Amino acid sequence: MLPTTNHNPAFNLTRASHVSLSVTDLERSRDFYRDVAGLVVTRETDNAIYLRGLEEASHHSLVLELAKEAKALYIGLRVRTDDDITAAEKFFKENNIEHRRVEKDYQGPTLQFRDPVGTWMELTSSMDVVDRKMQQFNEFVAGAPQRLDHYQVVTYDVQTATDFWTGLGMRMSEYTAKDGTDELWGTWMEVKGNTHDLVFTNGRGPRLHHFAYAVPDGASLIHAADVAGALGFGDEIDRGPGRHGISNALFLYLRDPDQHRIELFNTHYQFIDLETPPIRWDVSNPRRAQLWGMPASRRWFFEASEFPGEEVHEPLLQANPDTLEDYLGIH
Amino acid sequence: MLPTTNHNPAFNLTRASHVSLSVTDLERSRDFYRDVAGLVVTRETDNAIYLRGLEEASHHSLVLELAKEAKALYIGLRVRTDDDITAAEKFFKENNIEHRRVEKDYQGPTLQFRDPVGTWMELTSSMDVVDRKMQQFNEFVAGAPQRLDHYQVVTYDVQTATDFWTGLGMRMSEYTAKDGTDELWGTWMEVKGNTHDLVFTNGRGPRLHHFAYAVPDGASLIHAADVAGALGFGDEIDRGPGRHGISNALFLYLRDPDQHRIELFNTHYQFIDLETPPIRWDVSNPRRAQLWGMPASRRWFFEASEFPGEEVHEPLLQANPDTLEDYLGIH
Amino acid sequence: MLPTTNHNPAFNLTRASHVSLSVTDLERSRDFYRDVAGLVVTRETDNAIYLRGLEEASHHSLVLELAKEAKALYIGLRVRTDDDITAAEKFFKENNIEHRRVEKDYQGPTLQFRDPVGTWMELTSSMDVVDRKMQQFNEFVAGAPQRLDHYQVVTYDVQTATDFWTGLGMRMSEYTAKDGTDELWGTWMEVKGNTHDLVFTNGRGPRLHHFAYAVPDGASLIHAADVAGALGFGDEIDRGPGRHGISNALFLYLRDPDQHRIELFNTHYQFIDLETPPIRWDVSNPRRAQLWGMPASRRWFFEASEFPGEEVHEPLLQANPDTLEDYLGIH
Amino acid sequence: MLPTTNHNPAFNLTRASHVSLSVTDLERSRDFYRDVAGLVVTRETDNAIYLRGLEEASHHSLVLELAKEAKALYIGLRVRTDDDITAAEKFFKENNIEHRRVEKDYQGPTLQFRDPVGTWMELTSSMDVVDRKMQQFNEFVAGAPQRLDHYQVVTYDVQTATDFWTGLGMRMSEYTAKDGTDELWGTWMEVKGNTHDLVFTNGRGPRLHHFAYAVPDGASLIHAADVAGALGFGDEIDRGPGRHGISNALFLYLRDPDQHRIELFNTHYQFIDLETPPIRWDVSNPRRAQLWGMPASRRWFFEASEFPGEEVHEPLLQANPDTLEDYLGIH
């Protein structure tokens, strides 16, 4: 069933902003994100490394924390002001949504919560301001990722996730549905004016499928792949380069040393005007996954990062085994 | 003096959306915008041609109207809903701002007004929805412009213009000021979450300096220049390709057959978080105009399109003749 | 066993120049090569279509001939002068190599012959000169292929093929050999000063695996893929985009409506100086096939175009079934 | 008068290969060529630095020698074998051309000579082989120059220079001539199969105008300009980016700290077939200089590097002052 965006939400979300992952070897992960992905290291401590994209004025958009197991700790969104944090806290309390205030270095007021499908989220209203590196072209490395853009979460219940987030003001730009029905299989939702900040797709979840950084252009994407190949990570490209039908992104997916997945992508489109309807794709339409290009690997389809302590559930909607291969775009 | 953004404006602006120009030969101008600039023709009538960028779902972002004289007729912004048009009308009435309701084909409720420095603007809340062409890659021409992005207006009074527009909720991302003072020489203001929707620069005004379309990447920009050269418009590039210090845009400026100016550009950055201060540039710093590249031509600096019936005034702030060449970036 | 280039060959080869294919539907094939591959049509007759790359001053580099069966008719090389045709004829006669003089429209003196592994070749010393289109940027379509560059032939006997062609002055730039041996599995041979004009790889042959056109850059390659997707040929990309280890080419392979294969590629390197040794790759090294990128499809490995009347032989060297998957780069 | 290429020259030239410059501060020049131009340092000594392009297997293509004055010392060409050095020596002796055998580190037999218009040249038949870096994509810097490609020399007598070099087997691909006459103003000559290895243009000479490295694509060219801007060399771009009519090159010219000029360029075309005539351009045709783009600076037209001890002569052909501006493409 198509969701309805709440245009007067309880608080104001503004964008996808930061993600935190636990990793089992800090140096190895830092080397990957700095040299292969091309991010900038803002700060290193004994237990954590803070990174950001080249154009970002915020202290961090990726936080790596040392741990015994590799997990997706939470994914972060910005709210407009400190008052929005207060309003969010009130909303979660009133709606029995698990949440907690946390103190975070380099961040303003911060609130973590668990959405109805078990995704762990973190809201903050500000971060320490650092230099934008976007004109230090001599420091551009690999794909030269400019900024964190969006997340994709695998969930066992796309409808519930979508209802919740559109209730908080997100708007659906594109979606997949079971052929001839309104059963949602994947929803692309945005709050910042282009196609997506947060995506939910049907599958065993909750698990973080990937987080994505925008790169300047297709040439950067190819250079990223070339650098990955040169540094021994050619086999860790588990999809792409290719062009998604959904969102029109030119994409490349890479696995980090703990098998967390980062997407580098380019070219999605503006989505602001309210009269524009979302684009619908049948799940059975292979062009939704890619307009061209080699099919994704099975690793891309079936592997993702779990959240600590969150049980993974089988999806409520099951794919027809007869069309699963098509659904996956695996030929 | 630095302006203060009004975060609770009288009505909600959302983005730069459409511009209308009068031209003296419709076919000649259509050929230019379709074949040299690469826009899509949505509709042609005897007196007007409606064009749009490849990804745009709105009926038009450029309207060419046949007339005896080439003028900038108005520049358009979107508001969120029909209620915002009503609220805007009320605001203009209360503040003695010249305005008029107009009926426009293919547009929802529409309101034109004259800002305090004589810029003619048009607000609308919706447009007829048409197909996005962004995946018809076989129809991409020249720079493959995807969407209208922003305007630059030359004004005799940057401070007044900036105060007015920040009062309507726009936010300044970058600015130039006379060295060692707070005297504003140029202001880049945005409402859609990247560096600018509307720019005012000091000079004889009001005049429309240019309107800008975003292209996919640097390769598109070079292809646009190559196509312009092949079609005999190589001499109508009056600046670029180059990289602006301000906004970090990779740019190319072209003059149409009536000498209206269109910019094709790529790569400006996200500007959403409220804690991020605007970037200040001294007017005497040549890097503000370009990080590299050949200086702009005198045509680029001194020529622009007038608005019908609007007297052009000398700027209130005068350049020091000793530094004018530097100011202009002409060596 | 490594071959020895004959630096005083019987006649002077200069470059890969033209290929002829039979196709079962002329219009359908013309549309593919013009609109999806981006070639220029020089001339159409009832039975044949002549095409060329955008920069080529020669009348044709691809000839499509209407027939009931789709075959590779011959692949063409240029010799320096008419005298070289005479010298070649003499050489073939003396060495009992099957050959025939033919009259060809738009070509100078022309000689066809069958090499020792059954590849059908055509030599000519000149062609009618036509306009180079390289500065008609407004006519660039899809990948904007500039010129024919090389061929890859599948053969049952790489050693014999390599010995023959190096005896005619070709020089090996790179090769694959069975691990720890001198058994040649693939040889890249050139005469024009970069990595290859003619490639032989081990397999069921003789069959033409592909012919390749050089495109201006990586952006062109991506645009070619996007256009293929838009025109319904996304599934006919049977490999790429990716980066070959051998020759360092950035590549994209497309199948035409008769399943002939065309490669669009960019970036191979200069190979002129005699002191530079060929680069050796173990067949078991997957990086030879691609530094990164999704593995090739089985179609890419096992399908190729036969020559009319030439029996296809099983390869003399057989892959170890245990390493075949690695050899193929199929994971 | 159009020259005639000697197809049986006294010895076999193969390509432009290496250039030597004296510079006044070795470290400063090394930093420029490594960090701004993107070349690889092969070796540093107290008095000299050897650099090469990323794909080059030869020890050096640029040699910087420490001296009190910045000069162009010589420009280098390769010959095929050691026998060609012997044949060249014999030829120069018989034709009273000043020459000398020299011992050079890392080079095979080496012969320097002075051509009839005072250009100092160096021939060698081999160099020490080093690793090609073309697949170390993580070491690509700035424009990622792959290989030395050609030279442009300003001469007082284009006809004499052209006659001499075509007599040695070079072939003219394009030329400029005074309108309506056969008076040569500029000649583009090649030996390696694309448009030029050696260019002579009319002016005060002999002086080395520039040496050129090929970069992978237009994106690399823009990145080179961005890096130059970031490192403070934005003002040392004295022409470009733009597209030459002659040779179809996409170009960027940079001045080093001693004001030697390096060109980074992309996309010239194959020139092998003997039936293809050279392309003629009237000197008064501004499209010969650029199909589009801002006009070159006066620095680009009038400044060049002198050879030690060589007197600079006024050109035999004088520009008509009425058309000089057009000739220069300065508007």
pLDDT in tens, A112-121: 999 999 999 9
Gap between the Cα atoms of C212 and C149, Å rounded: 6
Contact D307, D314 (CB under 8 A): no
Candidates 3.10.180.10, 3.30.465.10, 3.10.20.740, 2.60.40.10; CATH matching C145-322: 3.10.180.10
Q: Does A226 touch chain C (CB under 8 A)?
A: yes
Q: Where in chain A is the domain with CATH 3.10.180.10?
A: 13-128, 145-328
Q: What is the DSSP string of A230-296?
A: HTT-GGGEEEEEEE-SGGG-EEEEEE-TT--EEEEEE---B---TTPPPEEEETT-GGGT-SBSPPP
pLDDT surpasses 60 at D322: no
Q: Residue B237's beta-bridge partner residues?
A: B254
- Map residue B94 onto helix, strand or coil: helix
Question: How many Å lie between the alpha carbon of C276 and the closest alpha carbon of chain D?
Answer: 7
Counting as low any pLDDT under 50, the low residues of chain C are: 331
- Residues 6+ positions from A237 with CB-CB distance below 8 Å: A225, A228, A252, A253, A254, C292, C293, C294
* Domain C13-127 CATH assignment equals 3.40.190.10: no
Q: Where in chain C is the domain with CATH 3.10.180.10?
A: 13-127, 145-322
Q: What is the DSSP string of D253-309?
A: EEE-TT--EEEEEE---B---TTPPPEEEETT-GGGT-SBSPPPPHHHHH--EEPTT
pLDDT at A278: 97
pLDDT more than 70, % of chain A: 96
Q: Residue D261's beta-bridge partner residues?
A: D255
Question: What is the distance in angstroms between the CA of the first residue and the CA of the last residue of chain C?
Answer: 30
- Residues 6+ positions from A21 with CB-CB distance below 8 Å: A62, A63, A64, A65, A70, A71, A72, A73, A256, A258, A260, A305
pLDDT at D79: 98
pLDDT surpasses 90 at B26: yes
- Residues 6+ positions from A291 with CB-CB distance below 8 Å: A242, A243, A244, A245, B135, C226, C229, C230, C234
Q: Does C232 touch chain B (CB under 8 A)?
A: no
CB contact (8 A) between residue D138 and residue A217: no
Candidates 3.90.1150.10, 3.30.200.20, 3.40.190.10, 3.10.180.10; CATH matching A13-128: 3.10.180.10
Gap between the Cα atoms of D132 and D140, Å rounded: 12
- Residues 6+ positions from A289 with CB-CB distance below 8 Å: A244, A245, A246, A296, A328, A329
pLDDT digits (tens, 9 = 90+) for D194-215: 999 999 999 999 999 999 999 9
- Which of D265, D292, D331 would you mutate first to test chain B, the one with the most B CBs within 10 A? D292
pLDDT at A142: 97
What residues in D contact C277, CB-CB < 8 Å? 129
pLDDT surpasses 60 at A36: yes
Candidates 3.30.70.100, 3.60.20.10, 1.10.10.10, 3.10.180.10; CATH matching D13-125: 3.10.180.10
Gap between the Cα atoms of D313 and B38, Å rounded: 49
pLDDT at C219: 96
What stretches of B240-307 show up as alpha helix (H) in DSSP? 298-302
Gap between the Cα atoms of A144 and D185, Å rounded: 44
If one counts every other C-beta atom within 10 angstroms of the C-beta of residue D10, the result is 16
Q: Where in chain D is the domain with CATH 3.10.180.10?
A: 13-125, 145-328
Tokens matching residue C23: 């196709």
pLDDT surpasses 90 at A74: yes
Q: What is the DSSP string of C98-152?
A: -EEEE--TTBSSEEEEE-TTS-EEEEES-B-B----TT-GGG--TT---EEEEEE
Q: Residue C210's beta-bridge partner residues?
A: C152
Which of A217, A226, A293 lies at the smallest CB-CB distance from C291? A226
Mean pLDDT of A35-63: 98
Q: How confident is the model at residue D320 (pLDDT cuts 50, 70, 90)?
A: low
CB contact (8 A) between residue C275 and residue D127: yes
pLDDT at B105: 97
Q: Which chain D residue's Cα is nearest to C248? A: D135
Tokens matching residue A198: 């947060």
Mean pLDDT of D149-164: 98
Contact C211, C256 (CB under 8 A): no
Which of D78, D129, D276 lies at the smallest CB-CB distance from C57? D276
Q: Which chain D residue's Cα is nearest to C15? A: D272
Gap between the Cα atoms of B27 and B49, Å rounded: 9
* Total residues belonging to chain C: 331
Mean pLDDT of D90-112: 98
**Strand (E) positions, D181-223?**
184-190, 198-202, 207-214
Q: Please give the mean pLDDT across all residues of chain D.
A: 95
Q: Does B222 touch chain A (CB under 8 A)?
A: no
Buried/exposed code over B86-95 (b: 16+ C-beta within 10 A; e: otherwise)? ebbbebbeee
Gap between the Cα atoms of C315 and B317, Å rounded: 82
**Cβ under 8 Å to D: B residues 48-77:** none
- Which of C217, C265, C287 would you mutate first to test chain D, the one with the most D CBs within 10 A? C217
What residues in B contact C132, CB-CB < 8 Å? none
pLDDT at A287: 85
pLDDT at A180: 83
Gap between the Cα atoms of B242 and B79, Å rounded: 33
Gap between the Cα atoms of C101 and C93, Å rounded: 12
Gap between the Cα atoms of A284 and A179, Å rounded: 7
What residues in D contact A227, CB-CB < 8 Å? 137-138
Amino acid (one-letter) located at D269: Y
Tokens matching residue D42: 């092969």
pLDDT at D331: 43
Q: Does A99 touch chain D (CB under 8 A)?
A: no
Q: Please give the mean pLDDT across all residues of chain A.
A: 95
- Which of D58, D220, D269, D279 would you mutate first to test chain C, the one with the most C CBs within 10 A? D269
Task: Count Cα atoms within 13 angstroms, Cβ side, for A232.
Answer: 3
Q: Where in chain B is the domain with CATH 3.10.180.10?
A: 13-127, 144-328
User: In degrees, to the nearest 5, what angle opens at C-alpha A323 toward C-alphas A322 and A326?
Assistant: 140
Q: Domain B144-328 class?
A: alpha beta
pLDDT surpasses 60 at B124: yes
* Domain D145-328 CATH assignment equals 3.40.50.800: no
- Map residue B117 onto helix, strand or coil: coil
pLDDT at D182: 82
Q: Does B150 touch chain D (CB under 8 A)?
A: no
Q: Does B229 touch chain C (CB under 8 A)?
A: yes
Gap between the Cα atoms of D155 and D117, Å rounded: 7
What residues in C contact D78, CB-CB < 8 Å? 272-273
Contact A60, A127 (CB under 8 A): yes
If one counts every other C-beta atom within 10 angstroms of the C-beta of residue A51, the result is 25
Question: How many Å lie between the alpha carbon of D69 and the closest alpha carbon of chain B?
Answer: 27
Mean pLDDT of A320-326: 56
CB contact (8 A) between residue A234 and residue C287: yes
Gap between the Cα atoms of B147 and B15, Å rounded: 11
pLDDT surpasses 80 at B319: no
pLDDT at B331: 43
Element (DSSP H or E) covering residue D26:
helix D26-31
Q: Residue D277's beta-bridge partner residues?
A: none
Mean pLDDT of A19-27: 98
